[in-house]
Amino acid sequence: MLERTPRKDRTEITFVLPPDNPPGPVSVVGDFNDWQPGTHTLTARKDGMRAVTVSLAGQNSHSFRYLAAGDYWFNEDQADGAEGPNSLLHT
């Protein structure tokens, strides 16, 4: 799930996943963090869901995917579209 919070010159995107599906650590990787795993790792929230927030400049498109333990890559069902094998996000 994606949560969007518009700000004056950027958009804060919160990437949200269930507590243990998939199991183990998960990070969101994309063109906004040079596809570096572990840069934006999802952590537990009070509601039990896992999340991480990334601040992105407005009026851009970004490619991203999730990376879970065991080199398991997957996409976001609520993304704005797809770009090749990646999820696409518009800010």
Question: What pLDDT shows up at residue 58?
Answer: 80
Residue with the two structure tokens 């596809």 = 35
Residues 8 and 2 sit within 8 Å (Cβ to Cβ): no
Question: What pLDDT shows up at residue 43?
Answer: 97
Residues 84 and 65 sit within 8 Å (Cβ to Cβ): no
> Distance of CA 25 to CAs 38, 41, 84, Å?
9, 7, 25
- The reply to whether CATH 1.50.10 applies to domain 2-86 is no
What does the alpha-carbon distance between residue 57 and residue 29 come to, in Å, rounded to a whole number? 16
* CA 81 from centre of chain: 14
Question: What pLDDT shows up at residue 82?
Answer: 95
Question: What pLDDT shows up at residue 59?
Answer: 84
pTM for the model stands at 0.93
Domain ranges for the chain, please list them: 2-86
Taking the chain (91 residues) in consecutive chunks of 10 residues, what is each chunk's mean pLDDT? 93 95 95 96 96 92 96 96 95 89
